[in-house]
């Protein structure tokens, strides 16, 4: 009698939740009586780096994102790849994914044994199993990522009915300028818009920790933004007086101040569209405050209620980053006010190995999340949209020192408001190439 190879269900796989080594899974063996046994060996992608390497090797033409998505581990949909952080080994090996998400395995090999069954053959013939190879990535440092949201995908092993199988060896992907975004440095994000009375509330991400650096990306159209906020440090600005303004106006260009706002700049009033970045280090004093001191009781963190003059819409995205250098949190900044791109082109900034690059885009029109997708190598950290405005923040960890180069969003770029529920529709007769403001900065983590 022909011996069958053993398939272990996921529940039977021995898993050490504290390890980042690839876990061995065995797909069902396919038996052709008297001729062949096929066995597939698959390993679970346990880190964003492993998933990203698989994404590069398959060369699907899609994009890669990593974050604290509902689905965990490495998965795919429509040629795009996701890695959901924060999952257990069991969750990252789950094949029953929602929708049309498909689990991606980091390594899947198959070996076919051919033989003829005769009456004098032993009945305990064993299948030969390929030895799983070690992954080339080291354990993922996820200490910096304190939270984020997004959607993910996965794929199940499928064994076909053909009698023969061809295994194609793919070339080892070459290292990229930027490291795959494991997002362990990102401790979460929140987003908000002004209420009807002109107040905007800034909340600390749920998974933020004492010592994290908070980066507040505050934007507004058709009105002024404050140059100063109590307990925050203003680190970057870009104000526009018109769409086609060639360069950003900054606080240094302000000619006259008025109660914490800039009344006039060297070139106009800077009220068409503006965006700023503020920094605050989280301390123990930011936790456990009384209601009078604006405690966010749901998270245990304080929040900031900012009263803005006027009633024009403002929006904010706040990101918590781990391991920020206390004395010199910002290494480099750059802004762009008219990129002449249908997407958004973020100017190059200098960074050192392990720095975090943050890219903020403010758009003077509504935009869906897939209109401005993350530049290659980055992940979406935060997104918000209103009736006539939108904001995005992307980020990544640098693998080596140097210039980032210009980073351009994927996707169709600026569109007019789409009909509800239809997603991206046909493009405009012309793109509003300069309806956005871009800020790039590198966060010093030395």
Highest mean pLDDT among 93-102, 239-248, 267-276, 344-353: 344-353
User: Do residues 403 and 355 make contact, with C-beta atoms less than 8 angstroms apart?
Assistant: no
Question: What per-residue confidence (pLDDT) applies to 113?
Answer: 33
For residue 59, what pLDDT band results from cuts at 50, 70 and 90? confident
Residue 247 in this model has a pLDDT that exceeds 80: yes
- Locate the DSSP E strands across 27-141: 30-32, 36-44, 64-67, 73-77, 80-84, 102-103, 105-114
Residue 174 in this model has a pLDDT that exceeds 50: no
430 — phi, psi (to 5°)?
-145, 150
The string of pLDDT tens digits covering residues 141-170 is 444 545 443 332 222 222 222 222 222 233
User: Do residues 265 and 254 make contact, with C-beta atoms less than 8 angstroms apart?
Assistant: yes
What is the rounded average pLDDT of the residues 328-337? 94
Question: What per-residue confidence (pLDDT) applies to 166?
Answer: 27
Residue 390 in this model has a pLDDT that exceeds 70: yes
Residue 326 in this model has a pLDDT that exceeds 50: yes
Question: What per-residue confidence (pLDDT) applies to 432?
Answer: 53
Place of tokens 């604006």: 294
Closest CA to 431 of 315, 360, 339, 337: 339
The string of pLDDT tens digits covering residues 421-430 is 344 434 433 3
Question: What per-residue confidence (pLDDT) applies to 78?
Answer: 80
CA–CA separation, 12 and 25 (whole Å) = 10
Residue 1 in this model has a pLDDT that exceeds 70: no
Domain spans, the chain: 10-124+132-147, 186-418+428-443
Average pLDDT over the chain reads 73
What is the rounded average pLDDT of the residues 430-438? 70
What is the rounded average pLDDT of the residues 254-269? 88
What is the rounded average pLDDT of the residues 439-446? 94
Taking the CA of residue 410 as centre, how many other CA atoms within 13 Å lie in the half-sphere pointing to its CB?
A: 16
For residue 296, what pLDDT band results from cuts at 50, 70 and 90? low
Question: What per-residue confidence (pLDDT) applies to 40?
Answer: 47
CA–CA separation, 144 and 398 (whole Å) = 13
CA–CA separation, 236 and 92 (whole Å) = 39
What is the rounded average pLDDT of the residues 430-437? 68
What is the rounded average pLDDT of the residues 330-352? 91
Residue 332 in this model has a pLDDT that exceeds 70: yes
For residue 277, what pLDDT band results from cuts at 50, 70 and 90? very high
The string of pLDDT tens digits covering residues 179-205 is 445 789 999 999 999 876 789 999 999
For residue 281, what pLDDT band results from cuts at 50, 70 and 90? very high
Residue 98 in this model has a pLDDT that exceeds 90: no
- The pLDDT > 70 percentage for the chain reads 67
- The pLDDT > 90 percentage for the chain reads 34
The string of pLDDT tens digits covering residues 369-383 is 888 999 998 999 999
The string of pLDDT tens digits covering residues 21-34 is 334 444 444 444 44
Question: What per-residue confidence (pLDDT) applies to 108?
Answer: 57
Q: What angle do CA 292, 296, 302 make, to 5 degrees?
A: 70
Question: What per-residue confidence (pLDDT) applies to 135?
Answer: 38
Residue 175 in this model has a pLDDT that exceeds 70: no
- Locate the DSSP E strands across 155-312: 186-193, 199-203, 213-221, 233-240, 254-258, 261-265, 273-281, 295-296, 301-307
Question: What per-residue confidence (pLDDT) applies to 12?
Answer: 32
Residue 134 in this model has a pLDDT that exceeds 50: no
What is the rounded average pLDDT of the residues 73-97? 87
User: Do residues 101 and 84 make contact, with C-beta atoms less than 8 angstroms apart?
Assistant: no
Question: What per-residue confidence (pLDDT) applies to 294?
Answer: 53
């Amino acid at each position: 009698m022909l011996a069958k190879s053993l398939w272990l269900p996921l529940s039977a796989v021995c898993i050490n939740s504290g390890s980042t080594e690839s876990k061995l899974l065995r797909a069902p063996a396919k038996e052709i009586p008297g001729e062949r046994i096929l066995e597939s060996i698959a390993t679970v992608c346990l880190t964003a780096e492993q998933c990203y390497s698989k994404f590069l090797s398959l060369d699907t033409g899609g994009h890669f994102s990593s974050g604290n998505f509902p689905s965990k581990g490495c998965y795919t949909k429509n040629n795009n790849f996701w890695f959901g952080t924060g999952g257990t080994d069991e969750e990252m090996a789950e094949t029953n994914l929602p929708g049309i998400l498909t689990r991606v395995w980091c390594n899947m090999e198959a070996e076919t044994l051919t033989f003829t069954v005769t009456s004098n053959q032993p009945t305990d013939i064993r299948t030969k199993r390929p030895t799983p190879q070690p992954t080339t990535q080291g354990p993922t440092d996820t200490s910096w990522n304190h939270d984020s949201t997004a959607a993910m995908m996965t794929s199940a092993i499928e064994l076909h009915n053909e009698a023969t199988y061809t295994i194609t060896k793919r070339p080892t992907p070459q290292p990229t300028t930027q490291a795959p975004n494991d997002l362990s440095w990102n401790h979460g994000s929140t987003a908000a818009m002004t209420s009807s009375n002109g107040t905007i509330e800034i909340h600390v991400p749920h998974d933020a920790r004492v010592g994290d650096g908070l980066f507040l990306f505050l934007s507004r159209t058709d009105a002024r933004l404050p140059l100063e906020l109590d307990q925050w440090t203003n680190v970057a600005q870009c104000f526009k007086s018109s769409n086609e303004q060639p360069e950003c106006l900054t606080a240094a260009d302000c000619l006259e101040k008025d109660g914490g706002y800039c009344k006039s700049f060297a070139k106009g009033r800077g009220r068409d569209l503006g965006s700023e970045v503020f920094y605050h280090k989280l301390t123990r004093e930011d936790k456990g405050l009384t209601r009078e001191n604006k405690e966010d009781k749901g998270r245990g963190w304080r929040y900031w209620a900012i009263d803005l003059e006027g009633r024009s819409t403002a929006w904010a995205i706040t990101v918590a980053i781990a391991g920020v250098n206390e004395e010199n949190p910002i290494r480099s900044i750059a802004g762009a006010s008219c990129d002449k791109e249908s997407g958004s082109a973020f100017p190059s900034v200098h960074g050192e190995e392990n720095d975090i690059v943050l890219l903020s885009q403010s758009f003077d029109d509504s935009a869906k999340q897939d209109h401005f997708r993350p530049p290659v190598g980055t992940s979406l950290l935060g997104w918000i949209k209103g009736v006539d405005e939108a904001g995005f923040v992307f980020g990544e960890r640098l693998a080596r020192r140097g210039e980032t180069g210009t980073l351009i969003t994927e996707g169709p770029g600026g569109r007019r408001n789409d009909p509800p529920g239809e997603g991206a529709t046909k493009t405009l007769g012309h793109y509003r190439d300069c309806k956005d403001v871009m800020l790039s900065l590198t966060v010093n983590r030395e």
